Amino acid sequence: MSDDLEPVEAELVDDHLPAIPENRTPAVPAADADPDAWLSDQAREDLQAGIPEGTGDAYEGDMLRFAQWCVSVKRRPMPAAAQTVTEYLSYLKRTPRPRTGRPYSPNSMDRIIAAIRSSHRAAGVKPPDTMGARKVVVGYRMELSLAKDPAAKPRKATPADRAVLQHALGKLDRTTLVGMRDAAVMLLGHAVASRGSELQLLDWPGSFTPLPDDGGLRATVYRKKRKKWQDVDIPLDPDPELCAVRAVRALAAGLAENGHTDGPLFVRMDKHGYLNPPMTRYGEPIGDPAGRMTVESLSDIIQRSIERTGLPGRWRSHSTRRGFVKSGRKAGADLVRLGRHGGWEDNSKALIGYVEEEDAGGELNPLAQIGRRAVKSQDGDDG
């Protein structure tokens, strides 16, 4: 799975439940014994449509690599034995990947287990018991943690808050169409706290309506994790250089001058600003016919733009979403309003996690706040 993709959601199954003894009769008959256990072609298509593209691609690659390994060691990939999956995870723990020179991380191994189980279900085959494989991952994560290996920690995007964006925008030539696009990607991603997959889907003018009072815009964003549309109000920013509304309108005007007046807001272009340049693989055209950019391309823009500043970090499309939380906390914004603006549920653990990380450092650190309050109290007593 590309690092540009957001973390893949594992299948909705609790593998920590006690294993069912092999000699116990299941409450539901196996598929080959159940006359209703079949799907029409239309239902299969509908089921596939409900699987996010990144998830499906990642799972398919994971299962393909598992099957190739099974062939190399003369084991059966499907239906796989529980011991086969355990052996495979043990192999992955010890085997460096050609691309990185390191074994898979524990988080990636969790995804691989989910991919194997999902592939079995998709084929109508009972998934293998993965308790042993998960214990391998638990032990591996503990080993890495004790060794203080960075691989034990999830690879999170670094927050790109308002200050980071200001540095990055200062390195862009915003008189060019490419510069206009890159500025709009960063500022709009921050303004609506979007994932890359949500930013990718925005159209001009279809996804936007003017705000009646202050000249801002209302963006209609599809929140993929919640599977619902949300209207997000984007007022004009007091600083024109950091204004997402002005950046979007500048990009739309530049696209219109080049004949693109309707469709994807973020369009594939070459360094000269030529829109939707042809792309081929093995002589066959690839890419969205309308030029809509991929999530990976949007991540590349953010990474490239911020890395020009020399600021250290892991800059991806998720950086602007995390940066929105950081900017909001610095400004003293209400946490509930922050969450609702960014499309989080009111009880979102992910949002709370972002907030806890931000509060651990700088002026928001609880100990720093306690110290300031103590000094203030002491000064008051001395007075």
Q: Given this model, what pLDDT does residue 34 score?
A: 58
Could you give phi then psi for residue 55, rounded to 5 degrees?
A: -65, -50
Query: Would you say the pTM of this structure is higher than 0.75?
Result: no
In whole angstroms, give the CA distance from residue 39 to residue 305: 47
Residues facing residue 275 across a β-bridge: 269
Digit-coded pLDDT (tens) for 82-92: 999 999 999 99
Do residues 97 and 104 lie in contact, with contact meaning Cβ atoms separated by under 8 Å?
A: yes
Residue 350: pLDDT over 70: yes
Q: Given this model, what pLDDT does residue 277 score?
A: 81
Residue 1: pLDDT over 70: no
Q: Given this model, what pLDDT does residue 181 score?
A: 97
- Mean pLDDT of all residues in the chain? 82
Mean pLDDT of the 182-210 span: 96
Give 215 or 38, the one with higher predicted confidence. Answer: 215
Could you give phi then psi for residue 234, rounded to 5 degrees?
A: -125, 100
In whole angstroms, give the CA distance from residue 167 to residue 198: 24
Which of 68-82, 147-161, 256-270 bottoms out in mean pLDDT, i.e. has the lowest? 147-161
Q: Given this model, what pLDDT does residue 280 score?
A: 77
Q: Given this model, what pLDDT does residue 26 score?
A: 36
For residue 185, give the amino acid letter: V
For residue 258, give the amino acid letter: N
Digit-coded pLDDT (tens) for 218-241: 999 999 888 899 999 999 999 999
- H/E element holding 281? strand 280-281
CB-count burial class (<10 Å; 0-12, 13-18, 19+) for 359: middle
Digit-coded pLDDT (tens) for 100-135: 888 888 888 998 998 899 888 877 788 999 999 999
Give 357 or 34, the one with higher predicted confidence. Answer: 357
Residue 215: pLDDT over 50: yes
Digit-coded pLDDT (tens) for 286-329: 888 889 999 999 999 999 999 999 999 999 999 999 999 999 98
Q: Given this model, what pLDDT does residue 44 score?
A: 58
Alpha carbon of 179 to those of 169, 172, 186, 254, 257: distances in Å?
A: 9, 6, 11, 11, 15
Q: Given this model, what pLDDT does residue 121 score?
A: 84
CB-count burial class (<10 Å; 0-12, 13-18, 19+) for 296: middle
Q: Given this model, what pLDDT does residue 382 score?
A: 60
State the DSSP string of 295-314: HHHHHHHHHHHHHTTT--S-
Q: Tell me how crowded residue 16 is: count the other CB atoms within 10 A of its CB.
A: 7
Q: How confident is the model at residue 368 (pLDDT cuts 50, 70, 90)?
A: confident
In whole angstroms, give the CA distance from residue 326 to residue 47: 37
Give 55 or 309, the one with higher predicted confidence. Answer: 309
User: Three-state SS for 115?
Assistant: helix
Digit-coded pLDDT (tens) for 130-152: 999 999 999 998 998 888 777 65
Residue 381: pLDDT over 90: no
Q: Tell me how crowded residue 230 is: count the other CB atoms within 10 A of its CB.
A: 16
Q: Given this model, what pLDDT does residue 262 score?
A: 95
Residue 5: pLDDT over 60: no
Residue 12: pLDDT over 90: no
DSSP state for residue 198 in the 8-state scheme:
H
Residues facing residue 292 across a β-bridge: 267
In whole angstroms, give the CA distance from residue 365 to residue 349: 20
